[in-house]
A = this chain, B = another copy of it.
Amino acid sequence: MTPAPGGPPERTDERQPVGEYGRLPKHETLRRRLRREIGHREPHSLLPTERELAVRYQVSRSTVRQALDALAEAGAVYRVHGAGTFVAAPTISKSHLLTSFTEDMQARGLQAGTRILAFDETEAGRRTAEDLGTEPTEKVTRLVRLRTADARPMCLETAHLRSARVPGLLARDDLDGSLYRILEREYGLHLVRAEQAWTAVTLDERSAALLGVPSGSAAFHVRRVGMDERDRPQEATTSLYRADRYDVRLTVRRTYPRDRSGPPRRPHV
């Protein structure tokens, strides 16, 4: 913390020190605060200087940069070297975030619902064992659910968890909500990262019926493997999403640094 906690007399109304907000680091608190303020500004409007933000929020410039770095990474702002930091145009979505179906629907303002189609224990099998890094004979708990948004079928998902890691899960009766929440709260299992592979498929008779669309309709097929803090696979899920009610939105970026050669370099339009 800043030295001299006795408190110097200097203090104007402009300064809004950062640091309450529970016990989050300053850069995170500042990031959230700026995030909100950005929402009220016009796209492409100029943000205050890093040095000025440092003064205003009573933190060092490094901390300001840490917060702005995160916002730039998330696509909320962009920076132009000698010019300044600007509010980015509202991005359509940020689906490189790991969200559960429940959270996803909440974010879209839809009511998430669930119909459990199967909930049992089986052997992992070759495919799932490969995803989870276990033996094919390992016991896994399988959960098949039809997920709905505002009561209309949205996706058909099958989750696999190593039974040994989630003892007593099969006895629970609250699997109609967020599986991730149960894993966090009851088993201390934090899925911080997941790898997904999306393919496009046409639905067979049975899946189409469950999803309430004609057989042969297009759908997304998703294979997901969720990892814990130590990068160990803990969850393997496959899902079928109705294509007429779902799309994948993502922002992609050029890597550092781009080609800066080439002759013309006229000023931009």
Contacts and interface: CB of A to CB of B under 8 A. Distances in A.
A218 B200 contact: yes
B28 A257 contact: yes
A259 B184 contact: yes
A182 to B, nearest CB: 10
Contact of A193 (B196, B247, B254, B261): B254
A80 interface: yes
Nearest to A194: B252
B254 A98 contact: yes
Given A95-B252, A252-B96, A254-B98, A230 B268 contact: yes
Nearest to A269: B165
A80 B252 contact: no
Contact of A253 (B97, B164, B165, B254): B97
Contacts of A252: 95-99, 193-194, 196
Contacts of A187: 264, 266
Contact of A78 (B98, B188, B220, B229): B229
Interface stretch (A85-93, A114-122, A146-154): A85-93
A179 interface: no
B188 A96 contact: no
A194 B251 contact: yes
Interface in A227-269: 227-231, 241, 243, 247-259, 261-266, 268-269
A171 interface: no
B262 A185 contact: yes
Interface of A: 24, 28, 43-44, 70, 73, 75, 78, 80, 86, 88-89, 91-92, 95-99, 162, 164-165, 181, 184-188, 190-202, 216-220, 227-231, 241, 243, 247-259, 261-266, 268-269
Contacts of A190: 254, 258
B229 A80 contact: yes
Contacts of A256: 28, 70
In the complex, the count of this chain's copies comes to 2
A197 B231 contact: no
Given A164-B269, A201-B243, A251-B193, A88 B216 contact: no
B195 A231 contact: no
Contact of A254 (B192, B200, B201): B192
A63 B118 CA distance: 51
Given A88-B231, A250-B96, A257 B24 contact: yes
Contacts of A89: 227, 231
B200 A253 contact: no
A87 to B, nearest CB: 9
